[in-house]
Amino acid sequence: MLYGADYNPDQWPEEVWDDDVRLMQEAGVNIVSLGIFAWSRIQPTEGEWDFAWLDTVIGKLHAGGIRVNLATATASPPPWVSASYPETLPADESGATYWPGSRQHFAPSSPTYRRLAGELVRSIAERYVDHPAVVMWHVGNEFGCHLPMDFSDSARDAYRDWLRAKYTTVEALNDAWGTSFWSQRYAGFDEVFPPRLAPYSHNPSSMLDWRRFTSDMLLECYLMEREILLAAGATQPITTNFMGPFKPADYAAWAPHMDVIADDCYPDPSSPTRVRDSAFQRDLIRSLKPGVPWLLWEQATDAVNWRPSNPGKAPGQLMAETAQSVARGADGIMFFQWRQSRAGSEKFHSAMLPHAGTDTATWRAVTELGARLAALPELPPPGRDAKVALAFDWENWWAVEERDHPTELDYLAVCREWYGAFHARGIMVDIVPPEQVDDGYDLVVAPALYLLRDAGAGALLRFVESGGTLLAGPFSDVVDEHDQFRDGGFVTQLGQALGIRFENFGALGGASTGGSGVGAQGGRQADASHETLPLRIAETTARATLVAETVHPTTADVVADFEDGRPALTRNQYAAGEAWYVATVPDAAGIDAVASELIAASGVEPVVAGLPDGVEVARRGELVTVINHGHEPADITLDGVDWESGAAVGSRTLGPQEVLFARMPVAGTGPEASADPVLAHAPTA
Ligand code: GLA
């Protein structure tokens, strides 16, 4: 188990470094991510390099038995870069420049930025590639975090090249974008601009390509650095830190280029859905590389500094949140950052070593956590533990939240709500693109899958044909990969399996956004100001939100109606399986009731049945983790042995935030699980 933090010794005088290593040892730290923002220290001016300090730090860490995840330091160009090469600066939609003075002020597609960043990476790689302390490479940092989209002239030029490579002829682009509409027909690629400030809606098909392009530009920066590391002879795993469900970067497309997946997760202590949402994030991350453990690269020991109000964690919460990562596949637990900064924007952000020193609750929590993780017997790799898949797709996310739709819909919120119904019951869920759905699952939930590619539809159909249970809807199977309607109406791919015919989207009334139809960008969830419709599902009275679509069963049975008698939930036998359609976004009670029906129909089981509310359970091969996130003690019963003590568990009371790691044999283990420790995932070109 890796344990450590971002380490920024360049913020501190050399006198502190020995103390750092000593205290790291005391805390159980065995790895640090080094030098993430050290570009200006390594290369103070163009042509001037200073590695002496880094040699010293790495030497001290190595002597102290602390491994290094060495950063390529490209995330914050130094002042000389911005001053000498203003073409490296990004721009917003209106053409305004993002100036230096913060971080991430680079245009990802700028050839000059890439050249300078490349020189930095090459220098670092050539110097340290064989250093025995260096066990991993940390490329960039949180690509796109602050600045997911750049509209600069570099972006314009790169976008035209990207479109040329994708479409070859401008006629193909015109067809894909439907440019006969509103006189948008292009005569050449050089007439295309990024979607800069415009009087009204941009062409939605172009927006989809623009989002693909911006994700690709960030990925290209990563790949550029990765190739330099490989050319220098890197044999250590290479990766960058993801941010869970981060809309601008299609991590499902990025994942194959990471040797292991690393993730940063900062659950919001004030959010009532904190536990569910962080579980969703960890399951999404685990699902990106099935069978391979992942690394939690950043979490906070206590408060962060970047929300409007920043409460700390409750006693025990750090352990409970950490256990959630381990339970869902993490083999490394790390923090931002090692030593709390004394200057700069993040001086109020917690760290492993607080500014107030070691006589603090944070330091005690950190050292206790390090000791407990170090003592854990070896963990199994995450297996094929989930029988339920949530179909989650970035391209769909981009498309379904474009403007000018029947209603605005918050895709992530809808997916989390469905996920939550299973999470609350202790049922494991993988979160995968539709193409990755296979017959290893028993139940697949595909909410609001508006954009459905042929290959995704094919995988979902094969899944049903082979005996699986699928739920789709609402607003699903509406457009193709260009965000265009397909011939033949709606649900053209899944309609036969669903046994329904689609008539209309039936948007429910909402609060007016004012103006001439120019709605607010970004999705929403229904709130009190929006119309809802009563909906009865089995014994539950729930409410339909956002839409109440009109669908007509062809071969499907109607399981639930809207108040006005139209079908709200249908179920259809198809080949060896069954396909359900839900014609609305039910409220939480409704989603829960539909989930109950699906669980009964598909026979999926919880990891451990009968746990009290607020007690989370997850399986990772033989490891079953039970976490009491509640404020009261909780009684649990479980037929397994304590992973740490070896004693039989039986019935036990877990205090608030208490964690139990238990061993429970698996029926039919996952064959794809990798037995390699996380650092053994060497890169391949
Ligand atoms: C991100 C960054 C870190 C730091 C933390 C603060 O995760 O990667 O450099 O800014 O946020 O929470």
Find the catalytic residue in 298, 321, 395, 616.
298
Q: What is the pLDDT of residues 102-116, one digit of tens each?
A: 999 999 999 999 999
280, 325 in Cβ contact below 8 A? no
pLDDT score recorded for residue 518: 33
Q: Is 142 touching ligand 1 by the criterion CB < 6 Å?
A: yes
| CA 143 – ligand 1 centroid, Å | 11
Q: Is the pLDDT of residue 335 over 70?
A: yes
Q: Is 37 touching ligand 1 by the criterion CB < 6 Å?
A: no
Q: Is the pLDDT of residue 588 over 50?
A: yes
Q: Is the pLDDT of residue 174 over 60?
A: yes
**How crowded is residue 672: how many other Cβ atoms within 10 Å of its Cβ?**
13
| CA nearest ligand 1 atom 3, residue | 336
CA distance 115 to 619: 45
Q: Is 592 touching ligand 1 by the criterion CB < 6 Å?
A: no
CA distance 570 to 564: 16
Which DSSP string corresponds to 110-157?
Answer: -HHHHHHHHHHHHHHHHHHTT-TTEEEEE-SSSTTSS-----SHHHHH
| CA 133 – ligand 1 centroid, Å | 24
| CA 222 – ligand 1 centroid, Å | 18
| CA 177 – ligand 1 centroid, Å | 37
What is the average per-residue pLDDT within 657-672? 81
What is the average per-residue pLDDT within 552-566? 96
pLDDT score recorded for residue 354: 98
**How crowded is residue 210: how many other Cβ atoms within 10 Å of its Cβ?**
22
CA distance 73 to 33: 11
**pLDDT over 70 for what percent of the chain?**
96
Q: What is the mean pLDDT of the chain?
A: 95
Q: What is the pLDDT of residues 51-67, one digit of tens each?
A: 999 999 999 999 999 99
Q: Is 227 touching ligand 1 by the criterion CB < 6 Å?
A: no
**Which residue is associated with the tokens 């290369």?**
43
Q: What is the pLDDT of residues 402-415, one digit of tens each?
A: 999 999 999 999 99
| CA 466 – ligand 1 centroid, Å | 44
Q: Is 407 touching ligand 1 by the criterion CB < 6 Å?
A: no
**Which residue is associated with the tokens 């603090």?**
360
Nearest partner of 421 among 463, 469, 388, 460, judged by Cα? 388
- Ligand 1, residues 298, 299, 306, 339: which to mutate, most atoms within 8 A of Cβ? 298
pLDDT score recorded for residue 672: 53
Ligand 1 atom closest to the CA of 304, numbered from 1? 12
69, 137 in Cβ contact below 8 A? yes
pLDDT score recorded for residue 523: 41
What is the average per-residue pLDDT within 603-632? 97
pLDDT score recorded for residue 528: 58
Q: What is the pLDDT of residues 271-296, one digit of tens each?
A: 999 999 999 999 999 999 999 999 99
pLDDT score recorded for residue 530: 78
Q: What is the pLDDT of residues 146-159, one digit of tens each?
A: 999 999 999 999 99
Q: Is the pLDDT of residue 250 over 90?
A: yes
pLDDT score recorded for residue 520: 36
Q: Which helix (H) or strand (E) holds 80?
A: helix 79-84
Residue 658 appears among annotated catalytic residues: no
Q: Is 213 touching ligand 1 by the criterion CB < 6 Å?
A: no
What domains, with CATH codes, occur in the chain? 2-147+218-375 (3.20.20.80), 388-602 (3.40.50.880)
Ligand 1 atom closest to the CA of 266, numbered from 1? 12
Q: Is 346 touching ligand 1 by the criterion CB < 6 Å?
A: yes
| CA 326 – ligand 1 centroid, Å | 21
What is the average per-residue pLDDT within 468-494? 98
What is the average per-residue pLDDT within 228-249? 98
Q: Is the pLDDT of residue 240 over 60?
A: yes
What is the average per-residue pLDDT within 470-482? 98
Q: Is the pLDDT of residue 560 over 50?
A: yes
What is the average per-residue pLDDT within 285-308? 97
Q: Is the pLDDT of residue 522 over 70?
A: no
pLDDT score recorded for residue 514: 41
Q: Is the pLDDT of residue 676 over 90?
A: no
Q: Is the pLDDT of residue 515 over 50?
A: no
Amino acid at 417: E
Q: Is 203 touching ligand 1 by the criterion CB < 6 Å?
A: no
Q: Is the pLDDT of residue 269 over 70?
A: yes
Q: Is 263 touching ligand 1 by the criterion CB < 6 Å?
A: no
What is the average per-residue pLDDT within 195-223? 98
pLDDT score recorded for residue 685: 65
Residue 142 appears among annotated catalytic residues: yes
